[in-house]
Structure 1
């Protein structure tokens, strides 16, 4: 399945949205066609049911559902894919055992990007491109670093980390596939309007 360009919405309950389903709805109504269900803790059964609900909403909007970290939740919730970081399940093992899943990997350098693709990643989340309020300890890749990642691989690259509406044109100019966003949308006064602004900025 072709990965959608533009806004890659990541769910969070620390801002205006009180549930992951509400966060997903905001991004979807704003035009995002790929949603990452990102919940770091909680009962597994509850996470599966919640991810299933987000997945139904995604299907209603013609969007993909990616589950962050948890391969078990992704499989049992019938998600389209899973995103794994450096400390999560190895990309190649996920690819070998669950070949039907889209597999995303995180990359903070060209070396990590190339390794992730070599192991079978379908796309990359590259960053942090800018200092990020949700990941303040992450090393900043910068726009030049993002461009080098994009040029080094042949899979879609979503820029993540400190992305703002104003930075969208510069990110798009690197050849990135899209922008992964949390707080710039979910912390806005009008989150749906903020999501639409990202979609329009990318398409424009």
Structure 2
């Protein structure tokens, strides 16, 4: 389990940038986009190198190490998506997995002392994740998204109230179709944070976009 308290983790997950090189205009632009996003105020970053044209082998490891250094230099949580061995190899802060990425009991044991995040589409999935020691839940997709070709149907913002009324006490982050237009709304209805992919990775000014997103999210949190 992570050494962070739920309150501290919820804060660190406020603006959660998720990306790999294939989400950027080019693999070469990934570093600059991440650096600008970090300078803009993202509080956590998930390295999700997955799908068509994703990096493999040594290139994947080197890119993960580079991303970790940028995050560590700026006090940003660094999470690896769905790759336990890579998480261990680069000594990331944690691992994020989906519903088909392996036994949660095994993964919790293998990530002792690290953050374990689990994607959940339903209350049953969320409860199972918490029962197995998940430190936070990634709920979604909240809105329709084209970033993940295999994404399920949007669950809508009502999922946050459903999770809270069913005693999901760990931090919950919304993901899927979240942008400057709706990030604050996601927080107002109960999310602890917003996970952003294309709104930052495809932005003409990732630093400015990240700064505006963080301001909206923090203002929404203060208004709760």
Give the TM-score category using the shorter length: over 0.9
1:184 aligns with 2:218: no
Distance 1:18 1:11 in 2: 11
Equivalent in 92, 112, 117 of residue 125 of structure 2? 112
Q: 2:40 aligns with which of 30, 34, 37?
A: 30
Which residues of 2 match residues 116-155 of structure 1 at below 5 A?
116-136=129-149, 137-152=151-166, 153-155=168-170
Q: CA deviation at 1:26?
A: 2.7
8 Å CA contact 1:15–1:186 kept in 2: the answer is yes
| SS of residue in 2 equivalent to 1:188 | coil
Match of 2:24 in 1: 15
Give me the TM-score of the superposition, normalised by structure 1.
0.92
* Structure 1 unaligned blocks of 5 or more: none
Q: Structure 1 residues 189 and 24, CA, compared in 2 at 3 Å: closer, same or farther?
A: closer
Count residues in correspondence.
204
- Cα RMSD for the two superposed structures: 1.7
Question: Equivalent residue of 1:166, what SS?
Answer: coil
> What is the CA–CA distance in structure 2 between the aligned matches of 1:78 and 1:151, rounded to whole Å?
35
Q: Is the 8 A contact 2:82 2:98 kept in 1?
A: yes
CA displacement 1:166-204 (0-9 Å, x = unmatched): 212221112211000011112222221111110010112
Residue 22 of structure 1, CA deviation: 2.9
SS in 2 for 1:165: coil
Deviation per residue, 1:25-72 (Å, 9 max, x gap) = 132111012100010143333222221111111111011100000000
Shift of 1:145: 1.9
Instruction: Answer with 57-66 or 88-97: which moved more.
Output: 88-97
Displacement after TM superposition at 1:16 (Å): 4.2
User: Contact conserved, 1:128 with 1:140, CA < 8 A, in 2?
Assistant: yes
Unaligned ranges ≥5, structure 2: 220-224
- DSSP-derived class of the 2:42 partner: coil
Q: Which residue of 2 aligns with 1:157?
A: 172
**Contact 1:150–1:157 (8 Å) recurs in 2:** no
Higher relative contact order (CA closer than 8 Å, sequence separation 6+): 2
